[in-house]
Amino acid sequence: MANQKRDPLFDLIKSLTKTEKRHFRLFVNRSGNTEDVKFIKLFDAMESMKRYDDQAILKKVPSIKKIQFSNQKANLYKQILSSLRHYHIGQNLDIQLRENLDHAKVLYNKGFYKQALKLLDRTKHVAIENKHFTISLEVMEFEKLIESQYITRSIENRAEALTREVDETAKIITSSHQLSNLTLNLYSLFLKKGYARDEADFNEVSEYFRKNLPEVKLENLSFYEQLYYHQCHVWYNKIVQNFPNTFKHAQAWVNLFKANPEMAEKQSVQFIKGYQNLLGALFQLQYYSRLCEAIEEVETLARNKNIVRDLNTEILVFKFLYISKVNKHFMEGSFDTGVELIPEILDKLKQYEGKIDPERVLMFYYKIASLYFGNANYRRAIFYLNQIVYFKDVNLREDIHCFARILNLIAHFEEGQDFQLEYQIKSTFQFIGKMNDQQAVQKEIFQFLRKSGKIKPDELKKEFQDLHDRLAPLNDDLFERRPFLYLDILSWLKSKIENKPVQSIVREKFKGLK
């Protein structure tokens, strides 16, 4: 089935709530009669359509010629954004602060220098109080401009005080940028490669981290500096598989917002992401009781309209909350009830189509496939694994692409599709070779599956036991254990050895964890 044609303007219009649409109509009518304004007719036409079709739009609005269509769309897009800015200004302090800065420039241009400085001073104090240091520095630079050009006699020793404020704020911003840049680059590295594959990966990322981490005293840092400090430590420790430290800094990240509840509302995305990383670390540590507590905390958070107040935060909560719910079923071995989440997940993915990044969609497909695999529905597992295998950008989450192919091999083996298994093994072997990602675990699995067709039925149990015995020690090796973070291959092998469903094996292991 062909992909539906997407259009940014159409998607923006369809994202508007009823009140946002009503506000837009009032916003464009503020200057009087708008009956002949073409962009309003274009809005009405696109708002009434279920799918984007430029030819149908031109038929609905004959006053817009084909040659004008692009310009009219651009104008409408701009008008909608202006309306949304006006509508949401009360909910976004940074927009209010920048509007004050714009008003101060108007006063300055009219020659009202003292009025401009008063407005700038109020704006600066609100910005500093609410940790908007970049805006406060921009305000200070404007204050310097006015003070350097005109004798305002605003306060005694004004130049010295202003210079000191600029220096102190610039230091905070510089430190924050260093930490946030490090965070972003580590996050990008994780998206591309996942966990450290070998000692070379470990040394490379560790050297990069040490080289770029500024020397700081945590107790002396501003709110944002502390936030970025914990964030970069979360991503570094996640990459090098130091999950206790990942948990430590993710918990500190969440606690930072709990200690500053006003910032939890102002920076709700960052607060939510703190929980996202906390839940991920708890799953890797198999810390079940705390995982359940954190899931309950997030479900309570999801009902807080001061935190989850728009589509962006709603989608963000969905992405990691449902991944964590699936992970909880993995820990429990409750695959039979876990698959009941799948229809709801798929409905949400369809509802948020185009608004969730491909990396997250791939992760959801992998989790869905793993649920089906654990529930012995190998055909459905293969279907969702193929969504990853045939995804065009293999550079995105190479780790997911790699282990989706390996799980696909095992699912084909379980499904008894021997006629496809040899091709799948060859294809997967070539893919992993190109990714330079073949570790001891993968090699052992390949070797076993290659000879599986020649193993006699009465020898199969022994072969499973031998493979289990070769793989078990690798689970304790820092660099060789990476595949076990994606595949619970040992539980699968034990299920074959004991002739039990894999769900039963995981449940028995879970009882030991509790």
Q: Could you give the CA distance from residue 32 to residue 443 in angstroms, rounded to a whole number?
A: 73
Find, among 133, 79, 85, 143, the residue nearest to 113 by Cα.
143
CA angle 357, 196, 360 (to 5 degrees): 15
Listed as ranges, residues in the chain with pLDDT below 70 are 1-5, 31-36, 151-157, 393-397, 417-422, 429, 432-438, 452-453, 512-514
pLDDT at 154: 53
Predicted confidence at residue 453, as pLDDT, reads 67
CB atoms within 10 A of CB 400: 19
CA distances to 319, 353, 485 from 277, in Å: 12, 23, 16
Angle between helices 288-302 and 268-285 (to 10 degrees): 160
SS3 454: helix
Q: What whole-number distance in Å separates Cα of residue 7 and Cα of residue 144?
A: 44
- Please state, in angstroms and rounded to a whole number, the distance separating the CA atoms of residues 38 and 46: 12
* Cβ-contact 107, 73 below 8 angstroms: no
What sign for the dihedral angle of Cα 368, 370, 374, 376? positive
Cα 291 to chain centroid, rounded: 19
Token pair 């005293």 is found at 217
Instruction: Classify 483 as helix, strand or coil.
Output: helix
Q: Which two tokens stand for residue 440?
A: 């001891």
| Cα angle: 251, vertex 255, 261; to 5 degrees | 150
The model's pLDDT over 333-383, given as tens digits with 9 standing for 90+, comes to 999 999 999 999 999 999 998 888 888 899 999 999 999 999 999 999 999
Q: Which two tokens stand for residue 73?
A: 């769309």
pLDDT of 1: 35
Contact between residue 198 and residue 436 where contact means Cβ atoms under 8 Å apart: no
Residue-range domain boundaries for the chain: 8-90, 92-154, 352-514
Of 351, 356, 447, 358, the closest CA to residue 395 belongs to 358
Q: Is 380 exposed, middle or buried (0-12, 13-18, 19+ CB in 10 A)?
A: middle
Tracing tokens 């009140």 back to the chain, one arrives at 19
Phi and psi at 242, nearest 5°, equal: -95, 80
Q: Measuring CA to CA, which residue among 232, 212, 138, 238 is closest to residue 485? A: 238
